[in-house]
Amino acid sequence: MAEMKTAAYVCRGCGIGERIDTARTAKVAEKEGKVQLVRQHDFLCNAEGVQLIRDDIEKEGVTHIAIGACSRRSKTEAFYFPTVALSRANLREGVIWTQPETEEARETTQEMADDYVRMACAEVKKMKLPAGNPEVGHAKRLLVVGGGVSGMTAALEAAKAGYSVVLVEKTGSLGGWAAKIHQRVPFHEPYQDPAPTGVTELAAAVTGDPGIKVYLNATLSRTSGAPGRFKVQIATESGGSSAEEVGAIVQATGFTTYDIAKLPELGGGKSPNVVDQAGLEKLAMEAAAKGQPIRRPSDGGEVKTVAFVQCAGQRDETGTHLPYCSGHCCATSIKQAMYFKDANPGVDTVVIYTDLRVPGNGEDFYRSGQSKGVTFTKGKVSSVEAGGNGCKVNFHDLILDDKNASIQADLVVLATGQVPVSGVNIEKQEEMPAEEKKVISILNLDYRQGPDLPQLKYGFTDSHFICFPYETRRTGIYAAGPVRRPMDMVQAIEDATGATLKAIQAMENAELGRAAHPRSGDLSFPSFRVDGCTQCKRCTVECPFGAIDEDEQRYPVFNESRCRRCGTCMGACPVRVISFENYSVDTVGSQIKAVDMPDEFSEKPRILVLACENDAYPALDMAGMTRTQYSAFVRVIPVRCLGSVNSIWITDALNSGYDGVMLMGCKHGDDYQCHFVKGSELATYRMSKIDDTLKQLALETERVATYEVAITDIARVPRLINDYAAKINEIGMSPLKGFA
Amino acid sequence: MGDMNIQAIEQYRSDFLKEVEERVEEGHWVKMCMQCGVCSGSCPFGPHWAHPPQEIFMMIRAGKREEVLSSDSMWMCTSCYNCVVRCPRQLPITQIMHGLATYAHRLGLAPRNQPTRDFSILFWENCTKTGRVNELKLTLGVYFREGLMAGIKKAWNMRNIGFGLLLTKRLNPFELFKGHACKDQKGIHAMLKKAQEIEARRHKLPA
């Protein structure tokens, strides 16, 4: 594709032809867009229209195409021309569907359409056909970190799908917590009795699988590379070290229990008769091995009453203990009460809870517990007096409102929560000595941003609980099981399966030089111009995915396979040397400049809208589909993420006479909705600094506004636009028109 | 009656839940309550009793025997069955309330002068005697429950209705002396005796 040949197509279908003078628009493309070949068509997305474009590509050698038809989100299959650069002018959703069908509105509607065609022509000329990431990796092996139920499931699922697996387990045997429990909560109906864990069979399946290589007593001493070509050093306890090359990683490092010694008020650590759930499992296993009932630890006496204290050190509002609910503990306590009731119905088992929560099919199991005679008392335990052979559990009975309720028990089980084993908190790693970091770290990544996965909340490594489970902020590394969020065994199995599928997808994409989620399949990748770089490190610091390292001369090193193609680096770069082949400072900048700017006295302001293509832009499209009208003065440009917005675009827009700039990105903060985690947050932060620029230009600060827009804001987005247009009308036209 | 109470205390010691399960009509359902409180919220008399069903169930599980059996709460149940319809665990709450009331009455622990209880006793004795309800005697029994003067006063207040009933031959004053009975009084008594025996066996009541 040595020579660029441009073509523009204007569709007259879907009512575009009736509302817009397409002949004029076509002329605009030819004269102002300076496109070599311009065609109009009555129904561009039908077979004939598509064939027309295809013929032009083949026979005329067209390399760059601008299509003026529907939104770039529509008809993507019809307008799929992988061999050429393509831009779309949104004449349907963006123009005719959002403008009133009146004679008075005809002129502004036409201007809007003409501008979008100008923009599409300008954009496509700056675009290159993405060639795909050259740094592909071909490793198709999966590394699973952790040999518990999640890890073993991940390994087996990958093996079943035909991928070889390396499994690294820190301890001397497979099984994890599941090997340390007597029985598990049932997975299958009728959900009535505890079931065997099945962990021995699972471990045997893993060790017996020729596609799974298991390292026991081993940890990762170094992880480097990128999806498709991760290089890991596996250190074994004996001092040996082996190297493996893998394509993706599933981290299933599980959890530890919350230390009961931190709960002295509940008798934790004060008496052998106060145990946590793991402690009771140990007692149950020992008793089962001897074929005896569970005995009182202090003196081996008979257990007549057992009290289960739910939410011990969990759901704590004081900030001392775990603030969250671990999800599995209610069902676990019911199961443990059944250990006693099934052996001897005469044993009193009392579960003291504030809210009993049994997810999944736990309600049936709960009912089974009740019919077996397990007593459930709604109350908040204030203290456990432990000493000698008995314990006194004092609680506030919440149904009878009795603050001084108490029961005597031989054994007290505290339902403490799950604490994720997620390694180093990379946001607080500065405070740690390097050696300690090395020991605690799980992955020992040699990434610039730190040795482990970023944590989302309470130490759990996830990037978004609802929208993208298993995804972490390190491409090609997926979290599964209780390290991701608190969960029980059945959820961990599901999690491991999901994460494995994600990992397989990542390996396959990496081999083809394509991006992983959320721009899955994207062939573009960021590149930078070395001679312009000032080594300011902003891109390396701000990349939400840790894709960019630094070389010895402190220049950025883009690990393309780790990149998610959000463009946050491009938005961050103060000298604008970072770009993608089909998305750059120029592709957007040229669109901004392509708009025809009416003069100060025309009463036609121009408002630039930079809209996130994941949420705000679809919301705008849907506003069009519902025929919700908005101001004809806006010109919308979709951006990959608000994080990719370079402030030069804002300055350029204001300098070239735009009266206002609206930035629409996703919700940020604790419950963010940004597909790229930090993009909208960074953009908002950057825009908070734009006031100085505005003052330098002697402009009102209202001329740049940032909004949080969700994909569901279909009715709100047009309102925001109209309100903003009214405000611009109030503060008046920009004084900078006509200077550019 | 007192003996039966002492016997029950001795037999069940502190396990009131077990006592209820074995001796109270539908008592085995009590353990299945999940304390959601829908019954209490659905009860039209909810605010008027000391302990709504949810609390009664919790008290049983907490072993509060005296408090439950001497409570007048279950006597307040009007058998509207709202709670039974709404209970997510499908507990026969109305039946349990009546079962508890009956059991408390048997043990002699039910509150004295509780109007529902008094009426129930009057009704039961009235109808089991002859196999037919003698409405005149039952009504007068209710009127004179609180003494002679109170009874006369109530009867006087109702005189117009009484005369109306008399005129339309709905009330026969001679019923006061003998009253009509069913054909086979002995048969009725035998049936009731048998039923009581079955109940005692089912609920493990001492003979």
Domains parsed from chain A with CATH numbers: 1-129 (3.40.50.960), 142-254+421-511 (3.50.50.60), 259-417 (3.50.50.60)
Statement: residue B57 has pLDDT above 50: yes
Q: Exposure pattern of A166-182 as b/e (b: 16+ CB <10 Å)? A: bbbbbeeebbbbbbebb
pLDDT per position as a tens digit, A567-578:
999 999 999 999
Nearest to B31 among A370, A378, A397 (CB): A370
The end-to-end CA distance of chain B, in Å, is: 12
Determine the distance in angstroms separating the CA of B79 from the nearest CA of chain A, rounded to an integer: 24
Name the residue in chain A with its Cα closest to that of B54: A399
H/E stretch holding A724: helix A716-731
Min distance B55 CA to chain A CA atoms (Å): 6
Residues of A (339-358) whose Cβ lies below 8 Å from B: 356
- Chain A touched by B62 (CB under 8 Å): yes
Q: How far apart are CA B193 and CA B206, in angstroms?
A: 15
Domains of chain B: 12-111 (1.10.1060.10), 115-196 (no CATH)
Contact B35 A376 (CB under 8 A): yes
For residues A99-122, average pLDDT: 96
For chain A, give the mean pLDDT.
Answer: 94
Q: How many CB atoms within 10 Å of residue A433?
A: 8
Q: Do A375 and B55 touch (CB under 8 A)?
A: no
Query: A740: pLDDT confidence band, cut at 50, 70 and 90?
Result: low
Q: Does A366 touch chain B (CB under 8 A)?
A: yes
With tokens 């690990």, the residue in question is A559
Picking from A371, A373, A400, the nearest residue to B62 by CB comes out as A400
Distance spanning both ends of chain A, measured CA to CA:
33
- Closest residue in B to A357 (Cα) is B34
Q: Are A72 and A638 in contact (CB under 8 A)?
A: yes
Interface subset of A 524-543, CB within 8 angstroms of B? none
Name the A residues in 472-531 with CB < 8 Å from any B CB: none
Q: Is the peptide bond before A190 cis (omega within 30 degrees of 0)?
A: yes
Local structure of B48: helix, strand or coil: helix
B58 reaches A (C-beta below 8 A): yes
Query: Residue A375 and residue B31: Cβ atoms within 8 Å?
Result: yes
Size of interface A-B (CB pairs under 8 A): 33
> Can you tell me which residue has the tokens 């806006």?
A634
Interface of B with A in 8-27 (CB under 8 A): 17
Closest CA to A568 of A678, A689, A684: A678
Q: Do A399 and B58 touch (CB under 8 A)?
A: yes
Residue ranges in B70-114 assigned as alpha helix (H) = 82-86, 93-107
Contact A69, A92 (CB under 8 A): yes
Longest Cα separation, chain A:
97
DSSP, res A193: S
- DSSP state at residue A593: H
**Nearest-angstrom CA–CA distance, B195 and A519:** 77
Put simply, the answer to whether B58 touches A366 (Cβ < 8 Å) is no
CA distances for B187 relative to A607, B179, B196, angstroms:
97, 18, 14
**Higher-confidence residue: A286 or A439?**
A286
CA distances to A39, A133, A528, A649, A651 from A577, rounded to whole Å, are 35, 18, 5, 14, 17
Structure token digits, residue A693: 């620029």
CB atoms under 10 Å from CB of A302, counted, come to 12
A375: which chain B residues are within 8 Å (Cβ-Cβ)?
Answer: 17, 31, 61
At residue B28, what is the residue type? H
Residue A137 has a pLDDT of: 87
Considering only alpha carbons, which residue of chain B is nearest residue A356? B34
Residues forming a β-bridge with A392? A385, A408
Nearest residue of chain B to residue A371 (CA atoms) = B32
Check CB contact of B145 with chain A, cutoff 8 Å: no
Chain B nearest C-alpha distance from A321 (Å):
27
Q: Which residues in chain A are contacts of B34 at CB distance < 8 A?
A: 356, 366, 370, 376
Q: What is the mean pLDDT of residues A521-526?
A: 90
Tokens of A166: 């390396």
A2: pLDDT strictly greater than 60: no
Is any Cβ of chain A less than 8 angstroms from the Cβ of B4?
no
Rounded to whole angstroms, the Cα distance separating A258 from A242 reads 33
Measured CA to CA, the distance from residue A614 to residue A568 in angstroms comes to 15
Residue A453 pLDDT:
94
Which of A347, A367, A376, A399 is the mutation pick for testing B, counting most B CBs within 10 A? A399
**Could you read off the pLDDT of A472-505 as tens digits, one per residue?**
999 999 999 999 999 999 999 999 999 999 999 9
- Distant-in-sequence, close-in-space partners of A409: CB < 8 Å, separation ≥ 6: A305, A306, A307, A350, A390, A391, A392, A393
Distance in angstroms (rounded) separating the CA atoms of residues B13 and B196: 25
The sign of the CA dihedral B97, B98, B100, B101 is: positive
Q: What is the pLDDT of residue A1?
A: 46
Residues 387-416 (A) with a CB less than 8 A from some CB of B: 397, 399-400, 405
Residue A738 has pLDDT above 80, yes or no: no
User: B64 contacts in A (CB within 8 Å)?
Assistant: 400
- Whether B34 sits inside 8 A of A366 (CB atoms) is yes
Per-residue buried b or exposed e for B65-94, using 16+ beta carbons within 10 Å of the residue's own CB = bebbbebbbbbbbeeeebbbeebebebbbb
H helix or E strand, kind and range, residue A387: strand A375-387
Whether the per-residue pLDDT at B14 is higher than 80: the answer is no
Question: B-chain residues within 8 Å CB-CB of A366?
Answer: 34
The answer to whether the Cβ–Cβ distance between A377 and B58 falls below 8 Å is yes
Cα(A483)–Cα(A442) distance, integer angstroms: 12
pLDDT digits (tens, 9 = 90+) for A451-462: 999 998 899 998
pLDDT tens digits for range A264-286: 999 999 999 999 999 999 999 99
The radius of gyration of chain A from alpha carbons, rounded to an integer in Å, stands at: 31
Nearest C-alpha neighbor of A334 from the set A205, A462, A442, A185: A185
CA of A702: how far to CAs of A403, A635, A659, A698, in Å? 57, 18, 10, 12
Q: Kindly state the tokens that stand for A310.
A: 């739910």
Supply the pLDDT for residue B173. Answer: 86
Q: Residue B189 — φ and ψ, nearest 5°?
A: -60, -40
Q: Residue A683 in contact with residue A643, Cβ under 8 Å?
A: yes
Chain A, window 30-69: residues with a beta carbon less than 8 angstroms from a chain B beta carbon: none
Nearest to A674 by CA among A739, A615, A592: A615
* B32/A366 touch (CB, cutoff 8 Å), yes or no: no
- Cβ-based neighbour number of residue B175 at 10 Å: 14
- Between B17, B34, B59, which is nearest A400 by CB? B59
A365 CB neighbours in chain B (<8 A) are none
Asked whether A205 and A156 are in contact (CB, 8 A), the reply is: yes
Find out whether B99 and B26 touch, Cβ atoms under 8 Å. Answer: yes
For the question of an ipTM over 0.95, the answer is: no
Beta bridge partners of A87: A66
CB A81 within 8 Å of CB A127 = no
Dig out the tokens for A221 from the structure. 């001493």
How many residues are listed for chain A in this entry? 740
pLDDT value of position B207: 60
Question: In chain A, whose CA is at the least distance from the CA of B59?
Answer: A400
Contact A397 B61 (CB under 8 A): no
* Interface residue A377 vs chain B (CB under 8 A): yes
What was the pLDDT predicted at A437? 84
Residues of B in contact with A356 (CB under 8 A): 34
Residue A175 tokens read as: 């099984």
Task: Give me A594's structure tokens.
Answer: 């392509």
Cβ of residue B36 closer than 8 Å to a chain A Cβ:
no
As a dihedral over the C-alpha atoms of residue A145, residue A149, residue A150, residue A154, rounded to 10 degrees, the angle is: 80
Distance from CA of A400 to the nearest CA of B (A): 6
- Whether the CB-CB separation of A575 and A533 falls below 8 Å is answered with yes
Distance of alpha carbon A388 from alpha carbon A372, whole angstroms: 30
DSSP calls for B124-192? HHHHHHHSS--HHHHHHHHHGGG-HHHHHHHHHHTHHHHHHHHHTT---GGGGTT----S-HHHHHHHH
CA distances from B198 to A284, A494, B22, B192, B206 (A): 43, 54, 14, 10, 12
Gyration radius of chain B's alpha carbons: 20
- A378 CA: distance to closest CA in chain B (Å): 8
Report the residue from A371, A373, A378 with minimal CB separation from B35.
A378
Taking the C-alpha atoms of residue A376 and residue A333, their distance in angstroms, rounded to an integer, is: 11
Segment B120-175, tens digit of pLDDT: 999 999 999 989 999 899 999 999 988 899 999 999 999 999 999 999 988 888 88
CB A124 within 8 A of CB A85: yes
pLDDT, tens digit (0-9, with 9 covering 90-100), for A375-425:
999 999 999 999 888 899 999 999 999 999 999 999 999 999 999 999 999
Tell me if A373 and B34 make a contact (CB, 8 A cut-off).
Answer: no
A25-63 pLDDT per residue, tens: 999 999 999 999 999 999 999 999 999 999 999 999 999
Among the partner residues B17, B32, B58, nearest to A367 by beta-carbon distance: B32
How many Å is the maximal CA-CA distance in chain B?
59
Is there a contact between A276 and A313 (Cβ–Cβ < 8 Å)? no
Interface touch B61/A400, C-beta < 8 Å = no
On the question of pLDDT at A83 being above 50, the answer is: yes
Q: What is the pLDDT of residue B30?
A: 96
Burial of A635-652, coded b for 16+ CB within 10 Å and e otherwise, reads: bbbbbbbbbbbbbbbbbb
